[in-house]
Amino acid sequence: MLSVKGLRAKVGEKEILKGLDLEVGRGEVHAIMGPNGSGKSTLAHVLAGREDYRVTAGTVTFEGRDLLALTPEERAHLGLFLAFQYPVELPGVNNTYFLKAALNAIRSARGQPELDAVAFLRLMRERLKVLYLDDSLLKRPVNFGFSGGEKKRNEIFQMALLEPKLAILDETDSGLDIDVLRIVADGVNALRGLERSVILVTHYQRLLDYIEPDFVHVLAHGRIIRSGGKELALELEEKGYGWLGAEEAA
Amino acid sequence: MIAASPAVEAIVASEYEHGFVTEIESDTFPPGLDEGVVRAISARKGEPDFMLDYRLRAFRHWQTMATPKWAQVHYPAIDFQAISYFSAPRSKDGPKSLDEIDPVLLETYNKLGIPIEEQMALSGIAVDAVFDSVSVATTFRVKLAEAGVIFCAISEAVHDYPDLVRQHLGSVVPHTDNFYAALNAAVFSDGTFVYVPKGVRCPMELSTYFRINARNTGQFERTLIIAEADSYVSYLEGCTAPMRDENQLHAAVVELIAMDDAQINYSTVQNWYPGDAMGRGGIYNFVTKRGDCRGARSKISWTQVETGSAITWKYPSCLLRGDDSVGEFYSVAVTKGRQQADTGTKMIHLGRNTSSTIVSKGIAAGEGEQTYRGLVRIAAKAAGARNHTQCDSLLIGARCAAHTVPYIEVKNPTAQLEHEATTSKISDDQLFYCRSRGLTAEDAVAMIVNGFCKEVFKQLPMEFAVEAQKLLSISLEGAVG
Ligand SMILES: Nc1ncnc2c1ncn2[C@@H]1O[C@H](COP(=O)(O)OP(=O)(O)O)[C@@H](O)[C@H]1O
Ligand SMILES: [Mg+2]
């Protein structure tokens, strides 16, 4: 479903991704681990279509389409979702309104009828229940004044509502207490049950106690330097990245 | 936050939707202004002597005045002798009903999306449509008359209610007030008159759409609204004008009078032609709007959504004369392309325990430039006066600018004043976040802008709030690439 081959990308003059390969199949959960500054968020943003990251080589196909030729919103319409490491605040924009607009933009791009207010609220309540979220966040402006944990939960809630075919979670687990971690895990596992795919960018083994990945990759110096099963994560936890020759990226 | 960015930078002007010209025979004076023209306008309207005297006094005073220079706007000097001061669609008598109105005119209104006919009955809005200088259609006058409300063209009021006009015209904005007010008093051709008697709650929203059509005609409307004790009226003015290369002058005067316990809500949705992306053409909007809270506990509320005009220069103001009277000013002003706006309000606290609220939301895109200029004056007698001012600016792109110029004069130590100001920017991060959720950049901007303006929109009557939101989205279309 997602196939990344020889991907190189620059931020300004600096090359961050230096020939990255990654294959993600339907219903698979991939964990990407790696030291700070190794290019994990860059990869996530390049896949989501951020324009100030310049792709200089390589190909990315998603659902048979050339992903790099699409705008960020077209990628979202195709079913790609990025849970941001640093979710952005939208003062004055009501969270519920935003979610409804996003869902309907995606639905209408797919030729599906838009949901009216009643149908949308029903859907929202249903998803809220599954994630044990309280709905006070929905009445506030998007991410505005949210705590770190609330922002992450809100990202997961958006994911649950939009039901992407491929979700990329960029360090959604950092700085979360166990309860929120569970919510994140529930969200991911729910998607997995729907045969959707997930890329988990994470620093810690901790999240992987709740979500069992099919594959674990180590990203360092702009490349995947090692791939394996879930046991690789345990090994990393024990030995650190140094063991792979992947100390903090310069 | 990152400053300029390619995404946000690509500001372009969206096409002006209402830029068509109506081909209709009109009776237009040749350009130029002297005493003879003033007399001719008065004669053409068959005015009583008191009106001619009023105009002549104003004209003579105007001749002694110079154009004001203090606003933060730039434009070439206006040649007042190159403007025609009267233009009317050619027809012998005023139309008696909608059927008598020139179908070309009706078509014009339809293009503007003005619901002048049957829809009006459903939405319960009375419309007084001003086409160039003459009021051509007044609906629902009968129903209003049953309630005792007078809603008509000011030129008719001069004939039918001369005492009311003579008593109140110029009592809030005297002809000596400023250059454009003097000019307006000398040459105003038409406008709207509203009178709400004591104890009456006006049974519907009143609304006037102005439209400037004929080439090279300045439009000088005059609006006078009188709310007697314990009455209520809500009035909406909406404006559009055709696309022209040359600039047109719009110098209106609006006077509001609220007696004891009366309330007037005055809302404006203004999208005059702003000129093209190079700054050619467009309306010069130099307007004097003032409300007089003459009675105790009276209240005047100005709400404006300004997306148009090449240059906007206006300060809807409140004279808070009555004890416990309340003045409000809610404003959204958008400037893009080369538009300039210098707008704000004046709250003059004269009575005791008077209070005022100012909420100003400025949005600048492209090379738009805008200034909020507000004056809060607390007179020595105004014990217990309060003001709250909130001034927010939202910048889209890096070449636009927003300035805030608050003037505060306090002569009474018991006054309480609060002032808050913020400036924010639509960032690339925000746009990318929205787009990654499936929204287009335009949707994202519209959403952020609407969120920014919410406080003001909620002051508008429901239908118009929706209209205003649409207008903003249209006006900022293409604001990001
Ligand atoms: N906007 C930017 N401008 C310049 N350098 C950047 C920018 N964003 C990231 N970088 C650099 O790119 C490298 C990779 O960053 P990132 O992808 O955020 O790493 P990770 O998510 O793995 O911690 C780092 O060296 C970082 O400093
Ligand atoms: Mg990161």
Question: Of A89, A141, A158, which has the smallest distance from its Cβ to B437's Cβ?
Answer: A158
Close Cβ partners of B81 (under 8 Å, ≥ 6 residues apart): B31, B32, B33
Are B439 and A48 within 8 A, CB to CB?
A: no
First-to-last alpha carbon distance for chain A, in angstroms, is 32
Cβ burial B48-85 (10 Å sphere, 16+ → b, else e): eeebbebbbbbbebbeeeeeeeebebeeeeeebeebbb
Q: State mean pLDDT over B455-477.
A: 73
Answer yes or no: is pLDDT of B264 > 90: yes
> Which pLDDT belongs to residue B402?
83
B190 or B282, higher pLDDT: B190
From residue A201, how far is each of A29, A40, A82, B136, B234 by CA, in Å?
11, 7, 11, 67, 57
Mutate: best of A46, A52, A70, A100, partner B, most B CBs <10 A: A52
A159 or B70, higher pLDDT: A159
Of the candidates A54, B466, B64, the one whose C-alpha atom is nearest the C-alpha of residue B474 is B466
What tokens were used for B177? 């007030």
**Most confident range, picked from B10-24, B214-228, B316-330:** B316-330
Close Cβ partners of A223 (under 8 Å, ≥ 6 residues apart): A17, A18, A19, A20
Average pLDDT over chain B reads 78
pLDDT tens for chain A, 250 residues: list them. Answer: 999 999 999 998 999 999 999 999 999 999 999 888 999 999 999 999 998 899 999 999 999 999 999 999 999 999 999 999 999 999 989 999 999 999 999 999 999 999 988 899 899 888 887 776 767 888 899 999 998 888 988 999 999 999 999 999 999 887 778 887 888 888 888 888 788 999 999 877 788 888 889 999 999 999 999 999 988 888 887 887 777 765 544 3
Answer yes or no: is pLDDT of B351 > 50: yes
Between CA A240 and CA A213 the distance in angstroms is 19
Of the candidates B371, B436, B358, the one whose C-alpha atom is nearest the C-alpha of residue B402 is B371
What tokens were used for B311? 């240059």
What tokens were used for B303? 């709400």
Q: State mean pLDDT over B16-21.
A: 49
> Which pLDDT belongs to residue B243?
44
Check CB contact of B363 with chain A, cutoff 8 Å: no
- Model confidence over B80-135: pLDDT tens digits? 887 777 766 554 444 445 555 556 555 655 555 555 543 343 344 555 555 544 55
Chain A residue with Cα closest to B453: A92
> Which pLDDT belongs to residue B318?
97
Question: Of B6, B429, B440, which has the smallest distance from its Cβ to A88's Cβ?
Answer: B429
List phi, psi (to 5°) of A201: -90, 120
Confidence of residue B278 (pLDDT cuts 50, 70, 90): low
In one-letter notation, the amino acid at residue B265 is N
Between CA B153 and CA A102 the distance in angstroms is 47
pTM of the model: 0.78
Are A92 and B428 within 8 A, CB to CB?
A: no
> Which pLDDT belongs to residue B287?
82
Check CB contact of A141 with chain B, cutoff 8 Å: yes
Between CA B206 and CA B329 the distance in angstroms is 19
> Which pLDDT belongs to residue B5?
34
Contacts of B451 in chain A (CB under 8 A): 90-94, 141
Of the candidates B237, B212, B474, the one whose C-alpha atom is nearest the C-alpha of residue B334 is B474
Report the nearest-CA residue for atom 1 of ligand 1. A11
Ligand 1 atom showing the smallest separation from residue A171 Cα: 21
Low-confidence winner among B87-91, B243-247, B323-327 (lowest mean pLDDT)? B243-247
Between CA A145 and CA A143 the distance in angstroms is 6
Stated length of chain B: 481
Structural domains of chain A, with CATH = 2-90+165-249 (3.40.50.300)
Ligand 1 atom showing the smallest separation from residue A219 Cα: 22
Between CA A217 and CA A232 the distance in angstroms is 8
Are B437 and A102 within 8 A, CB to CB?
A: yes
Q: Strand B253-258 and strand B222-227: pairing?
A: parallel
For chain B, domain boundaries: 26-425
Close Cβ partners of B120 (under 8 Å, ≥ 6 residues apart): B126, B127, B139, B140
Q: How many CB atoms lie within 10 A of CB A125?
A: 10
Cβ burial A184-205 (10 Å sphere, 16+ → b, else e): bbbbbebbbeeebbbbbbbeeb
> Which pLDDT belongs to residue A77?
97
Contacts of A106 in chain B (CB under 8 A): 438
> Which pLDDT belongs to residue B4?
32
> Which pLDDT belongs to residue B97?
52
- Model confidence over B187-228: pLDDT tens digits? 998 888 999 999 999 988 887 654 444 444 457 889 999 999
Alpha-carbon dihedral angle through residues A236, A238, A243, A245, given to the nearest 10 degrees: 40
> Which pLDDT belongs to residue B334?
82
Q: What is the whole-number distance in angstroms between the Cα of residue B51 and the centre of ligand 2?
A: 74
Residue B220 three-state SS: coil
> Which pLDDT belongs to residue B300?
98
Calculate Rg over the CA atoms of chain A: 18
Are A76 and B424 within 8 A, CB to CB?
A: no
CA angle A111, A113, A114 (to 5 degrees): 115
Chain A residue with Cα closest to B424: A91
Between CA B480 and CA B11 the distance in angstroms is 5
First-to-last alpha carbon distance for chain B, in angstroms, is 19
- Model confidence over B396-427: pLDDT tens digits? 877 778 888 889 999 999 999 999 998 888 88
> Which pLDDT belongs to residue B95?
47
Confidence of residue B244 (pLDDT cuts 50, 70, 90): very low
* Whether the Cβ atoms of residue B99 and residue B146 lie closer than 8 Å to each other: no
